[in-house]
Chain A
Amino acid sequence: MSRLIVSRRKFLTASAAGASGLILAGCDQFDFLGQRDHPARDFLERANTLTYQVQRLMAGEQALARTYAESEIRQPQRPNGSVDPTTPDYVALRDGGFADYRLRITGLVERELSFSLDELRNMPGQSQITRHDCVEGWSCIAKWSGTRLGPLLDQAGVKPAARFCVYHCYDVMGGGLAGTEPYYESSDLIDAYHPQTILAYGLNNEVLPVSNGAPVRLRIERALGYKQPKYLHTVELVDSFAGFGQGQGGYWPDHGYDWYGGI
């Protein structure tokens, strides 16, 4: 038995070595998980698909995001990401007061449509006071006014092959050596048709300002801020994300964020 106890002692020493290895590991030993194409990361990312499917099961298609009272709007909506796009197309539109703005619905639809800002404003509108949750961790409550995306999709006639909406924006991200990439996002048709998914043109009882996405910003209220594309110009119905950006379904998903964005 005494020999056995010696072995336990050895064993403890070795476990201490192992434990300190794990502590040292905190330095940069797991940085390889940051490589987008690493098999270990691919494996971990499967959890995001699980989250998406389980949340769709739990919330269903129609469950609403929580809404708040007017009195709970205590500050202006915090702008984040692009706040003043400089692409020539956008600058021209902005300087013309968005008079020439058209929102297009294209892709897998029976009829490609486009709407002016006035046409959108004259459609049945709705306002909702919701909490905007940024992926960084902060939240901000604001009142968003606009018209629902769902009826416009019905008007265009979504083809049965369509599975997702891709939302194309005027703003570009990045720069420097890697060059710029246009901002885009996407959602499934459940989020596109959700009763709170609106093409927002108003914020806190004012016209939507440039810093928050003028003239039109999409609100997908059951998802994080990066799923609320600003400076929207085209809604394209597609059956896959191949061919857009790096194929992950959005600017931030192309840069390592989960596509679902509901968590």
Chain B
Amino acid sequence: MAIAEGTLPADMPPRAAPAARATAAGLSLVGAVTGGAFTLFLFTAPDLLVPLGIVRPADAVIVSLFAAAAVFMALGGVVALARLGLGGAIALIGVLFWLAACIAFKSFGWLLAVPLGFAVLGALTGMIGNDRVASQADPRLIYRQDVMTRLTHWVWAVAMFFLLLSGLQIFNARPNLYIGQESGFAYQNSILDIYALNREGGPIGQTKLFGTTFDTTGVLGVSDNNGRVSFTAFPGWATIPSYRDLGTGRVVHFFFAWILVGTLLMWLVNAISSGHLWRDIVLKPRDIRGLPRDIWDHVRLRFTHGRSYTPLQKVAYFGVFAVAFPLIILTGLSMSPGMNAAWPWLTEIFGGRQTARTIHFFTMLAFVLFFIVHIAMVVLAGPFNELRSMITGYYRTSTHGEEK
């Protein structure tokens, strides 16, 4: 392959390493200094931060997380001067600590975004700069994922997380799934019901799926929410917010639905124009023919690391982009009375609003299954290489022979 001969794609010209080192180090250090200053104020004089919107005191764990983040950012910046890739990776650890601190602190204001932004840019400059140069010397290190694929991948990861948890919140308002236009109250047309019952030994949770009843006490129907018994269908740890609040669930769900649809469109335009869609996603007869062999390879955990995806990977990604995403978006729209007036045919192709809601739910389950397999495959196939390709875009290719 021409691309593996050490040449770079046209949009990624090689850059002088010293300049990249200085940039990566500078950005990470600015992140470290601003982050460190913030942490110092938070620790010694939190009152000074009140006018800037930080009104909550932070406990020792949160301050330590922020401090550790700043230390990693600083360390990454210094190391990047000597070893660009290593420095970038260390700065990225700082970024993850900073995110964890933000989540623990329950705050995501602009003040917290400044160190994060600098450190992210520093880490990416370091890691990408390193891989650009490294790929020139190593023909097996190829540029596989372009910037749009990488960006949308991580945006989708975040959006799907919020869509899932807010979606379960919305589901909890009516934990039944029906077939048809309407919900049967005077007759029976539900296929899934999650509910609580009072028994002598205390309340129990039950789930009825296609007429079969399962005891799901502790998880579905009846669960523990921070020491209190909760009678929601899905437990508090699986919903946003953790307590019953349909209005907030809808606000979160619709915001991230727009994010998902917007970035999917951006990705689609780019994937068509760059050839990514046709080359890597669209299933072709060749892929179908190669499927049995590829399944056997996967069973033996012998993975091919090539320029494009293997047949089984293509089936998975084609399924996600051509079936699961369109299905979950269109069934979502089918539930909107406003959309029903605009596109009356949409609800009908799914067999009615309640059937659309049921399909929406089961497509969500398919996405959860995809996520589990996706993570498992990343771990089994070599997490360093796989994560690298989704961060810097560069991927170490191999052949079967070298896998042994």
The answer to whether A and B interact is yes
Nearest CB on B from A130, distance (A): 9
Cross-chain contact A5 with B384 (CB below 8 angstroms): yes
- Residue on B nearest A257 in the bound complex, by CB: B247
If the complex has contacts A137-B170, A138-B174, A258-B250, are A47 and B255 also in contact, measured as CB distance less than 8 A?
Answer: yes
- Is B165's CB within 8 Å of the partner chain A? yes
Identify which of A45, A50, A141, A260 contacts B251 (C-beta below 8 A): A45
- Residue on B nearest A30 in the bound complex, by CB: B240
Cross-chain contact B185 with A140 (CB below 8 angstroms): yes
Identify which of B83, B100, B242 contacts A3 (C-beta below 8 A): B83
Identify which of A65, A136, A139 contacts B246 (C-beta below 8 A): A136
Cross-chain contact A27 with B236 (CB below 8 angstroms): yes
For chain A residues 1-38, which have a beta carbon within 8 Å of chain B? 3-5, 7-12, 14-15, 17-18, 21-22, 25-34
Q: Compute how far the CA of A33 lies from the CA of B252 in the bound complex, rounded to whole angstroms.
A: 8
If the complex has contacts A27-B242, A131-B353, A138-B183, are A4 and B83 also in contact, measured as CB distance less than 8 A?
Answer: yes
- Residue on B nearest A68 in the bound complex, by CB: B181
Nearest CB on B from A160, distance (A): 26
- Is A59's CB within 8 Å of the partner chain B? yes
For chain B residues 93-126, which have a beta carbon within 8 Å of chain A? 93, 96-97, 99-100, 103-104, 106, 108-109
Contacts of A18 in B (CB 8 A): 96, 99-100
Chain A binder among B9-17, B84-92, B284-292, B323-331? B84-92
Q: Compute how far the CA of A34 lies from the CA of B250 in the bound complex, rounded to whole angstroms.
A: 11
> Which label, helix, strand, loop or mixed, suits the secondary structure of the B interface?
helix
Identify which of A12, A33, A221 contacts B240 (C-beta below 8 A): A33
- Number of A residues with CB within 8 Å of any CB on chain B: 71
Q: Compute how far the CA of A123 lies from the CA of B97 in the bound complex, rounded to whole angstroms.
A: 68
Cross-chain contact B354 with A139 (CB below 8 angstroms): yes
Nearest CB on B from A26, distance (A): 5
- Is B241's CB within 8 Å of the partner chain A? yes
Cross-chain contact A256 with B100 (CB below 8 angstroms): no
Identify which of B53, B248, B258 contacts A41 (C-beta below 8 A): B248
If the complex has contacts A7-B85, A139-B183, are A66 and B245 also in contact, measured as CB distance less than 8 A?
Answer: no
For chain B residues 257-309, which have a beta carbon within 8 Å of chain A? 257-258
Q: Compute how far the CA of A8 lies from the CA of B93 in the bound complex, rounded to whole angstroms.
A: 10
For chain B residues 159-205, which have a beta carbon within 8 Å of chain A? 161-162, 165, 170-171, 173-174, 176, 178, 181-187
Q: Compute how far the CA of A41 lies from the CA of B89 in the bound complex, rounded to whole angstroms.
A: 33
Nearest CB on A from B150, distance (A): 15
If the complex has contacts A26-B240, A44-B252, A140-B182, are A7 and B337 also in contact, measured as CB distance less than 8 A?
Answer: no
Nearest CB on B from A151, distance (A): 21
Chain B binder among A69-77, A86-94, A95-103, A113-121? A69-77
- Is A232's CB within 8 Å of the partner chain B? no
Q: Compute how far the CA of A9 lies from the CA of B339 in the bound complex, rounded to whole angstroms.
A: 48
Contacts of B53 in A (CB 8 A): 39
Chain A binder among B42-50, B213-221, B340-348? B340-348
Cross-chain contact A134 with B242 (CB below 8 angstroms): no
Contacts of A51 in B (CB 8 A): 254, 258
- Is A64's CB within 8 Å of the partner chain B? yes
- Is B383's CB within 8 Å of the partner chain A? yes
Per-residue A-contact encoding for B215-244, CB less than 8 Å = 1, 0 else: 000000000001000000000111111110
If the complex has contacts A28-B236, A41-B248, A74-B186, are A12 and B258 also in contact, measured as CB distance less than 8 A?
Answer: no
- Number of B residues with CB within 8 Å of any CB on chain A: 72
Cross-chain contact B241 with A12 (CB below 8 angstroms): no
Q: Compute how far the CA of A72 lies from the CA of B89 in the bound complex, rounded to whole angstroms.
A: 62
Contacts of A74 in B (CB 8 A): 182, 184, 186-187
If the complex has contacts A44-B251, A262-B336, are A66 and B344 also in contact, measured as CB distance less than 8 A?
Answer: yes
Per-residue B-contact encoding for A118-148, CB less than 8 Å = 1, 0 else: 0000000000000101111111110000000
Nearest CB on B from A125, distance (A): 22
Contacts of A258 in B (CB 8 A): 247, 250-251, 254
Q: Compute how far the CA of A101 lies from the CA of B320 in the bound complex, rounded to whole angstroms.
A: 57
For chain A residues 230-263, which have a beta carbon within 8 Å of chain B? 252, 255-258, 260, 262-263
Cross-chain contact A11 with B93 (CB below 8 angstroms): yes
Q: Compute how far the CA of A179 lies from the CA of B150 in the bound complex, rounded to whole angstroms.
A: 52
Q: Compute how far the CA of A241 lies from the CA of B238 in the bound complex, rounded to whole angstroms.
A: 36
Identify which of A22, A33, A224 contacts B241 (C-beta below 8 A): A33
Contacts of A48 in B (CB 8 A): 251, 254
Q: Compute how far the CA of A133 lies from the CA of B248 in the bound complex, rounded to whole angstroms.
A: 19
Cross-chain contact B106 with A32 (CB below 8 angstroms): yes
- Is B132's CB within 8 Å of the partner chain A? no
Q: Compute how far the CA of A131 lies from the CA of B97 in the bound complex, rounded to whole angstroms.
A: 50
If the complex has contacts A17-B96, A138-B183, are A11 and B387 also in contact, measured as CB distance less than 8 A?
Answer: yes
Contacts of B354 in A (CB 8 A): 138-139
- Is B338's CB within 8 Å of the partner chain A? yes
Cross-chain contact A66 with B340 (CB below 8 angstroms): yes
Q: Compute how far the CA of A8 lies from the CA of B344 in the bound complex, rounded to whole angstroms.
A: 52
- Residue on A nearest B240 in the bound complex, by CB: A30
A-B contact pairs, 10 of them (CB 8 A): A12-B384, A26-B238, A44-B255, A50-B258, A51-B254, A60-B342, A137-B170, A137-B357, A138-B354, A262-B337
**Known pairs A15-B387, A31-B106, A140-B185. 7 more at Cβ < 8 A?**
A4-B86, A33-B241, A34-B243, A45-B251, A51-B258, A262-B338, A263-B336
